Amino acid sequence: MTTKIFALKNAWFCGLKTIQNINLKNFSIGAVTRAPVNLKGRSFLTLKDFSSDEIKHLLWVSRDLKHRIKYEKQYLPLLQGKSIAMIFEKRSTRTRISTETGFALLGGHPCFLTSQDIHLGVNESSADTARVLSGLCDIVLARVYSHTTLEDLVKDSSIPIINGLSDLYHPIQILADFLTLQEHYGSLSGLTVSWIGDGNNVLHSFMMTAAKLGVHLRIATPEGYDPDSSVLQEAKRLSEKHGTQLFLTSDPVEAARGSNVLVTDTWVSMGQEDEKKQRIKDFHGYQITMQTANVAKLDWTFLHCLPRKQEEVDDQVFYSSRSLVFPEAENRKWTIMGLMVSLLTDYYPQIPKPRF
């Protein structure tokens, strides 16, 4: 009789635990299971170097920190006693504010360095700068003109280097984009993203990431503004490996057809100001409007990494309820925090793993 009562109580307790493990919308069901993902000490130059599981882990950590800090109002000094050197050859609003406030919010000390504050590549070699910063800081975020600058820093650094933007990739932007889409749609696998614009660094990072998350990619670029050929070759390989679709065209409407997400970016990046007049002419017809959205799926949304100019997307789309640009901008903070915590600590998420 005692055994039966114990078994009954045990079954009731297990049932209660099961109920407690039924999670909120957009999360998987079941207890948190530790995955063999450890990114501590890694550098982050391109998402090409990260697997599907590693990217999902970064998004999970980011969403976990957002939940615990923003909604649960918890104080998590995970980076207390640590410092970050933020090297900015290019100005920025989102990258600077998200990194600086995020690192401080986690208890660390951010140090902002412009070209006027540091000798990188001018009076001091990248190799020497990397060795000096390795002795003074715990991590470096560098926003640079040339991707080779980042590669040079990594060669002689003993601490993680984060790509805050280069001419080839902008990986921290793409983490924010996919966190935003995961939050909005509930999962990522099976979504179709349409890129309409320049074959630039942001597109390159989409191409290195989408297939790994089960996301189809449709790309429209004007003739002569195609993505880098080596990036395209790798994107084709990833698409074939993960069973996703990769479609390229020069027709913006065709690229948008059947898409869940419409994405564009600046047509004139920093350093290309002399090309502005020609680029505006070459990108004629590439503005995203409601007419573009008419061929997308009924649940379409819009992303832009900002700052935005009206020739890229009209007000009707940009300020519509379908536009996720401001949640996307906020998620720059949570994803850079998730990345920095993952590269510097052994932190493991406390919330259940989201559906991807």
Question: Which of the four pLDDT bands, split at 50, 70 and 90, describes residue 120?
Answer: confident
Q: Where are the domains positioned within the chain?
A: 47-170+339-344, 172-267+280-329
Query: Alpha-carbon distance 81 to 108, whole Å?
Result: 6
Sign of CA pseudo-dihedral 314, 320, 322, 325: positive
pLDDT higher than 70, residue 331: yes
Cα R_g (the chain), whole angstroms: 22
CATH 3.40.50.1370 fits 47-170+339-344, yes or no: yes
Cite the active site residues.
Answer: 305
Query: Alpha-carbon distance 44 to 229, whole Å?
Result: 22
Residue 105 CB burial class (10 angstroms; 0-12, 13-18, ≥19):
middle
Mean pLDDT of the chain: 91
Query: Alpha-carbon distance 33 to 30, whole Å?
Result: 8
pLDDT higher than 50, residue 6: no
Which residues are bridge partners to 313 per DSSP? Answer: 288
Contact present, 351 and 63 (Cβ < 8 Å)? yes
Residue 6 neighbours by CB under 8 Å, 6+ apart: none
pLDDT higher than 80, residue 330: yes
pLDDT higher than 80, residue 110: yes
Which residue, chain included where needed, has tokens 């989408």? 210
Query: Can you give the three-state secondary structure of 290-350, one letter per residue?
Result: HHHHCCCCCCCEEEECCCCCCCCECHHHHCCCCECHHHHHHHHHHHHHHHHHHHHCCCCCC
Query: Alpha-carbon distance 252 to 294, whole Å?
Result: 12
Check for a shared fold between 47-170+339-344 and 172-267+280-329. Answer: yes
Q: Which two tokens stand for residue 29?
A: 């069901």
Q: What is the DSSP string of 135-166?
A: HH-SEEEEE-S-HHHHHHHHHH-SS-EEEEE-
Q: What is the DSSP string of 22-33?
A: -PPTTB-SS---
Query: Alpha-carbon distance 210 to 19, whole Å?
Result: 34
pLDDT higher than 90, residue 122: no
CATH of 172-267+280-329, one of 3.60.20.10, 3.40.50.620, 3.40.50.1370, 3.50.50.60: 3.40.50.1370
Q: What is the pLDDT of residue 34?
A: 53
Q: Which two tokens stand for residue 253?
A: 């409407």
When pLDDT is averaged across residues 172-177 and rounded to a whole number, the result is: 98
Q: Which two tokens stand for residue 182?
A: 């995961």
pTM listed for this prediction: 0.89
Which carries the bigger pLDDT value, residue 272 or residue 47?
A: 47
